[in-house]
A and B are shown apart, each in its own frame.
Chain A
């Protein structure tokens, strides 16, 4: 069974304090790993898809990386508006299903 574990559960940063969010996964035949951002009371917003180990993608202050066992979402010089829950999901094998982790709640203080 596909498994996704995200850590830490919650992270509090000072504005400008860079950090990383971790997503560990156990799947058979990874097709893609996805990062989403979710604001309170809203649906998840798609950020990145990573297809293979070694791949990296960037968007503004966010950079996602992928290895054979885990993915990191690096946040450089975060701002209060980066506060949200960040979700990681995997798609594997012939399945159309996305398996999600529980998410990491990020809070950035001004």
Chain B
């Protein structure tokens, strides 16, 4: 595997279900991110983890719960979601440094909440 991988690629869940999204980066980076992408809207940053510590949480509802067990893996645990949570969820990784640094994205998980 190379780059950033995400599983599953597609997920349909009811409002009462619990599911998890998984992300793995094979780039040796020290930071990982979760983004939400909805139609006609810019990418919304949800969470940032640097060296396995959560450094940013952009007012995300508690029904989304991130977990970063090590610098290569990131999870997003989902429970009691709402239909408006249907979107493409993207994971990204980067090597944090003082100069500007690009982020590399996975293919995303298309989530549909019914």
Contact with B along A28-43 (1 / 0, CB 8 A): 0001101010000111
Q: Point out the residue from A32, A43, A46, A101 that lies within 8 Å of B108, measured CB to CB.
A: A43
In the assembled complex, the Cα of A96 lies from the Cα of B48 at a distance in Å of: 9
Give the residues from 21 to 75 in chain B that come closer than 8 angstroms, CB to CB, to chain A. Answer: 31, 40-43, 45, 48, 50, 55-56
CB distance from A39 to the nearest CB of B (A): 10
Count contacts on A: residues with CB < 8 A to the other chain: 24
Q: Point out the residue from B90, B96, B99 that lies within 8 Å of A44, measured CB to CB.
A: B90
Contact with A along B95-113 (1 / 0, CB 8 A): 0100111111111101000
Which A residues touch B43, using CB under 8 A? 44, 87, 89, 98, 100
In the assembled complex, the Cα of A43 lies from the Cα of B108 at a distance in Å of: 6
Contact with B along A41-54 (1 / 0, CB 8 A): 11111100101000
- CB–CB B107/A96 < 8 A: no
- CB–CB B107/A49 < 8 A: no
- CB–CB B103/A45 < 8 A: no
Q: Point out the residue from A31, A44, A91, A96 that lies within 8 Å of B105, measured CB to CB.
A: A44
Interface assignment of B81: CB less than 8 Å from any CB of chain A: no
Closest to A99 in B: B42
- CB–CB B108/A98 < 8 A: no
Q: Point out the residue from B31, B94, B106, B110 that lies within 8 Å of A41, measured CB to CB.
A: B110
Which B residues touch A100, using CB under 8 A? 42-43
- CB-defined A-B contacts under 8 Å, sample of 6: A36-B105, A41-B108, A43-B92, A51-B100, A97-B48, A102-B40
